[in-house]
Structure 1
Amino acid sequence: MALKRPLPALMGGVSLSVLVSLGALAYQHLRTNALEERLLREVNTLTHAEHPRPVHVTPARPGTFGDAVEALRPALLQQARETPAPSAEEAATRESVTEGRAPVTDLPASNHEALERGRPLMRQVLAATHAESGGLPEDLRPLSGPETSRRDALLQALRHVVEEAALETRLLVSRGEADQAVDTCVDTLALSRELALGGGLLGQRLSATGYGRVWRACADALDAASLARKREAISQLTRLQEGFPPVSLTLHEEAVAAQLHAFRDLLSDEARAQLPPSWFDAPSLPGALSRRLQWRQWVEDADRLLAVADQPAEDRRRSLEALEALKRGEFFRQAEALAVRLSPEDVEALDLRALRSEALIALTEVDVARAERGQWPRALRTRTKSLMLKPVDENEAHIRSCVQGMMPDPLVVTADGPPALQQVRDVP
């Protein structure tokens, strides 16, 4: 007769088996060897990454944009220190003049003087965009290190150059020097593009802001330029558009940098020694066990985000909503990596930059077609379907956005004629 096990003994065996299984599962989740190895590989890859992109001028200058700007760093920082911050009223006036909402005569004399003093350095920075390869100075990259004061100071100086160059474009248009205005505005767009190449989300945001600051002045310059300059500009603008990095690459940079900021103290001494020197210092933080779980979650979240980041706008919106729903259904989630996310504001800014880039190309192509054939083209030849052309009469056509809120005021293109009539303006 078989012996019957007492029920408590049987339950104890089951409980022990469950505990062993849970322990094994927890051990697998708490192990970070694979995460450590992956992080080191990605740091090495991104640290040594190059940023080739189409050059918008011929011939290109040898070297990289980053090397050229690094040589100008002392002058840029000195200019930033010596330039007083404008008042809110002065900043508003500059913006209105730059975008064509106010006449150039509204600009205070002090602004003209500041632009005159800064023009040589501004032109040197714009000429740096003619380099044969992109890439920012090392300390402008997300993986440069935990200390950001040098990065912030140089980025602010470059942002000032973008604003000055946009204003310079407007002044050149007002003086009837349209071809030179196109030279300046195209280089300014190129500078905005450079900020996105390896600069992480901050670089992408500054890039989108730069496009927003210069594009209206650039539109006026393009419409008023000679036919030959317009033809050349179409090729240049197309090459600039092709040089923007995919959003997934930007988020990858941010994801790796976020791991270094938050978890480098969890690395072994041997692994930490393989990091760039700026990351060697790694004070130990409490809660190592829970932070290992958090590290794994951050990597999984980033992988899911990178997989959908480059989708078309509507597909990406649905995918991001699905990812948020997935997170809400997961138990025991740790705090998320705030730097590794694509906020609605970022999505809108990047989509708007793409739309503005397309709109400038479309405007120039329409203007050239009208000059060559004597009539407006029937449709736009853009990559996006969100822009449409609507001729008003033989001398005027509108370029509108089909996406509500993206470009509420259409661009108005007038057929080439006397310089005073060659304008692009906003329609209320």
Structure 2
Amino acid sequence: MALKRPLPALMGGVLLFILVSLGVLAAWRLRTDDLEARLVLEVNTLTHAEHPRPAHVTPTRAGTFGTALAQLIPALVRPERAAPVATQEDAARCEAVTEGRAPVADLPTACREALEQGRPLMRQVLAATHAESGGLPEELRPLSGPDVARRDALAQALRRVLEQAALETRLLVAGGDADLAVDTCVDALALSRELALGGGLVGQRLSVNGYARTWRACADALDAASVVRKRQAAAQLTRLHEGFPPPSLTLHEESLATQLTTFRDLMSDDARSLLPPSWTDAPSLPGALSRRLRWRQWVTDSDRLRAVVDQPAEARRRAMGALEAQKAREHLRQEEAPATRLASEDLEALELRALRSEALIALAEVDATRAEKGQWPKTLATKTPSLVLESVDASQAVIRSCVRGLTPEALLVNADAPTTPQQARARP
């Protein structure tokens, strides 16, 4: 018998189909078994990942940087009860001396005493960068556990080591020991590179800070060093530059750590048992349904971002702009993940670090070439078009950035005396 009211019946069927489809979609979005399986696999993979990188010295020391540094952690985080306390004014003057904005004679006594007291440990930490392989101790890895207090304490101690190394470089240059100053500053830059290998965003920020604090003193040391040391330093700095991890790896580490911190209570007991022991404890948090939706969104956002962050700067900016536009079109979005919110700012900092690294390489090569050939080279040999060389006169040249928005101060290069035949034969 034909239906007497076909249209309402049809509409009812369509509505039922829509409701069922929405129910299936909601059920899929609220299930997180695929997310937890992926999280377990990726956490265990990165936890045991190795971090090979070009060594900046020959010969190297056996083992990893992490193993060497782990032996120094008790001394690094030990309270410095007898350390001189610098006032805010002294700290500002110390920074001005380190960066070359004030003469060494202006260095406050408290800063000098702190350097003398910390110098033995600083040199041990710098020597750890001579290890044959990279990799951080457990305390500095973002996937090591939810307790960040010890990580923060160690990060602060290493930041202090980098500041002391930069000041030591400045004092050595002022004392006429430019080649020794280059040794110190290159090791300090190597320490900055090590901290980026497997350290997540915290490690990258420490690395960026290390380059920012050290590069000006290092530039002056390179400018004053012997031609032979300049050539050696150019090769060392190039190896350091080639050893930085891609931003996608850092964002991956940070994404996994964020998921563990925020969502591990949503995982099954069986899945949690497969995580590193420090993550198995998972106090239950409220809002499970909305947090399951947020978890899936955060993973999706992270995947999209990691797919574009390793592109060249301009292409990456366009791609990230497209991602933001895509987000704006999506409805019912959850709160953004912290790693995603900070990505643009941190990526710009990594660009600036790379630019500073290339500027130091260019300075060493340009200055050595001028000493060997008696004139400034017409172009830079760096891989980036972001730097330009401008000759001031026969005795001075300037290396500066031509990247809009990334303009670290220009580096002034002073010509050395011409290379003697004996120096030319000694050059490797």
TM tier, smaller: over 0.9
> How far apart are 1:116 and its partner, in Å?
1.4
Q: Could you tell me which amino acid in structure 1 is paired with residue 109 of structure 2?
A: A
Tell me the residue number matched to 1:373.
373
**TM-score normalised by the chain length of structure 1:** 0.94
Residues in 1 aligned to 2:44 and 2:258: alpha-carbon distance in whole angstroms: 15
CA drift of 1:87 comes to: 2.1
| CA offset digits 1:129-179 (Å, max 9, x no partner) | 001111111121111111111101111111100000100000000000011
Equivalent residue of 2:63, what SS?
strand
Farther off after superposition, 219-228 or 8-17: 8-17
Report if the CA contact (8 A) 2:389-2:399 is conserved.
yes
Amino acid at match of 1:260: L
Q: Is the Cα–Cα contact under 8 Å of residues 208 and 350 in structure 1 kept in the other structure?
A: yes
2:384 is aligned with 1:384: yes
Matches within 5 A, 1:388-399: 388-399=388-399
- The corresponding residue for 2:425 is none
**Inter-partner Cα distance in structure 2 for 1:342 and 1:153:** 22
Per-residue CA deviation, residues 172-226 of structure 1 (Å, 9 max, x unaligned), is 0000001100000000000111111111111111111110101111011111111
Letter in 2 for 1:4: K
Distance 1:285 1:414 in 2: 62
Which stretch of the first structure deviates more once superposed, 350-359 or 392-401?
A: 392-401
Determine the structure 2 residue equivalent to 1:297: 297
Deviates most, 296-305 or 18-27: 18-27
Are 2:144 and 1:144 aligned?
yes
Contact 2:84–2:114 at 8 Å: present in 1 too?
no
Contact 2:396 2:415 in 1 (8 A): yes
Q: Does 1:175 align with 2:175?
A: yes
Checking the alignment, whether the CA contact within 8 Å between 1:258 and 1:340 is kept in structure 2 is no
Give the superposition deviation at 1:342. Answer: 4.2
User: Structure 1 residues 384-393 or 244-253, which shifts more?
Assistant: 384-393
The farther-off stretch of 403-412 and 293-302 is 403-412
Q: CA deviation at 1:10?
A: 3.9
Match of 2:273 in 1: 273
Contact 2:83 2:117 in 1 (8 A): no
Q: Secondary structure at the match of 2:392?
A: strand
Q: Count matched residues.
A: 418
Deviates more, 1:250-259 or 1:309-318: 309-318
The alignment-based identity, stated in percent, is 71
Note the alpha carbon deviations across 1:1-34, whole angstroms, 9 max, x for none. 7443465444333322221121112122222121
AA matched with 1:97: V
Q: Could you tell me which residue of structure 2 aligns to residue 69 of structure 1?
A: 69
**How far, CA to CA, are the matches of 1:52 and 1:298 in structure 2?**
30
1:398-417, aligned counterparts within 5 Å?
398-407=398-407, 409-417=409-417
- Using structure 2 for the length normalisation, give the TM-score: 0.94
The separation in 1 between residues aligned to 2:154 and 2:322, in whole angstroms, is 38
Distance of 1:197 and 1:56 partners within structure 2: 15
Structure 1 unaligned spans of 5+: 419-428
State the partner residue of 2:93.
93
The residue aligned with 1:28 is 28
8 Å contact kept, 2:266–2:288 = yes
Aligned partners of 2:261, 2:409: CA distance in 1, in Å? 43
Q: CA RMSD in A?
A: 1.6
